[in-house]
Structure 1
Amino acid sequence: MPAEPDENTDYLSFVDYAVDRSTRELPEVDPVAMRLVLTLHRVTSALVYDLESSVHRPRGWSWPGFRVLFVLWLAGPMEGKRIAELAGMSRAAVSALVKTLERDGMVTRRQDEQDRRVFSFELTGTGREAILGAYAAHNEREQAWVSALSRPERTILIGLLEKLAAGSASAEAKRRT
């Protein structure tokens, strides 16, 4: 085995090298678990990078900005804390993002009448039009990614990912705040 990855090793194929090298260094490593998690992470990262660079950055958005707009589009007006829960982000990140989205005319902020410290956010008409156009392009890229799988394979993969997400190890990860 080479000490370093060769010139043909790329971001995704590095998984093979990493599993081989780590199991030689640490024989107790479970290579199947490592391969599954590393591959899942790297494919997800590549997919997100593709969506962000081909769909969202050209519109002046970041991936997190898209996630906030997506949640507001589908779930409607809500407090920043709830946006953070549904977008899988911290409240601080959402707070910073909605300031930018508000500045850009995509989101409006409304102060709660009972508790003046609480704000809810909602899409503006401009924000709604922007997310509708962006999501159409986003879904085209999603279709391109999943076209490598047959319809039955897609259904099986969805079931397996949902089973993984429902597993006991994921319980802590679900409590993101």
Structure 2
Amino acid sequence: MAEPEPPEELDYLSFVDYAIDKTTAELPKVDPAAMRLELTLHRLTSALVYDWESTVHRPRGWSWGGFRVLFVLWLAGPMEAKRVAQLSGMSRAAVSALVNTLERDELVSRKQAEHDKRAVLLSLTEAGHDAITSAYEAHNEREQAWANALTKPELMVLIGLLDKLTTSSAATEAKRRF
């Protein structure tokens, strides 16, 4: 039997309702609240990253990943590439590829670590520091625009709930895979 086509009026957000209805109809053991939470968080995260990348980072010639590398080095200081990967939530290979571009653009420098000749120490150049601080001011303006949809109490409740999710046993288990 052929599956019916999804309604034409579906959009990015209404697809969540459609997906939950269709999934739970076929798989009754699926928890619709958990599914809605994860789909909504994923869609929100995607929208946030797209907004930041298209309005702040891409105009500066960076990808979202490039920004994350610069952000970590700005706040945590010079460190090994593997530590940048860990703190940015990216793979070592991704960081290595991004650093090639950031080094070419004279935003990051790398040198051999003294304690281990195989390790690479990354640091911001002066131009990199100026670039990330300027970019982060613009980035934070977009963060504020998104956060302004909530009242201060709502914002604090949401932050508390998200913190609770990030410290859950499922999150702890996932972090072990990094």
Residues 95-106 of structure 1: matches in 2 within 5 Å? 95-106=96-107
Instruction: Tell me the residue number matched to 2:13.
Output: 12
Instruction: Tell me the residue number matched to 1:133.
Output: 134
2 CA distance for matches of 1:69 and 1:60? 13
User: Which residue identity is paired with 1:107?
Assistant: V
1 CA distance for matches of 2:6 and 2:47? 19
Unaligned runs of 5+ in 1: none
User: Which residue identity is paired with 1:100?
Assistant: T
Instruction: Tell me the residue number matched to 2:27.
Output: 26
Are the aligned partners of 1:12 and 1:43 in contact in 2 as well (CA < 8 Å)? no
Instruction: Tell me the residue number matched to 1:107.
Output: 108
Are the aligned partners of 1:85 and 1:176 in contact in 2 as well (CA < 8 Å)? no
Instruction: Tell me the residue number matched to 1:74.
Output: 75
Between stretches 110-119 and 51-60, larger displacement belongs to 110-119
Summarize deviations over 1:54-74 as a string: whole Å, max 9, x none: 111111000000000000000
Secondary structure, aligned partner of 2:36: helix
Change (3 A) 1:176 1:141: farther
1 CA distance for matches of 2:11 and 2:95? 33
Using structure 1 for the length normalisation, give the TM-score.
0.95
2 CA distance for matches of 1:155 and 1:64? 28
The CA RMSD over aligned residues, in Å, is: 1.3
Secondary structure, aligned partner of 2:158: helix
Summarize deviations over 1:6-55 as a string: whole Å, max 9, x none: 33321122101111111111111110000011111111111111111111
Summarize deviations over 1:150-175 as a string: whole Å, max 9, x none: 00001000000010111111112213
1 CA distance for matches of 2:119 and 2:51? 35
1 CA distance for matches of 2:129 and 2:156? 30
Instruction: Tell me the residue number matched to 2:84.
Output: 83
Are the aligned partners of 1:68 and 1:94 in contact in 2 as well (CA < 8 Å)? yes
Deviation of residue 176 (structure 1)? 4.5
1 CA distance for matches of 2:44 and 2:5? 22
Using structure 2 for the length normalisation, give the TM-score.
0.95
1 CA distance for matches of 2:68 and 2:177? 15
Deviation of residue 113 (structure 1)? 2.2
Q: Percent identity?
A: 69
2 CA distance for matches of 1:114 and 1:20? 56
Instruction: Tell me the residue number matched to 2:159.
Output: 158
Using CA pairs under 8 Å that are at least 6 residues apart, name the structure with larger relative contact order, 1 or 2: 1
Unaligned runs of 5+ in 2: none
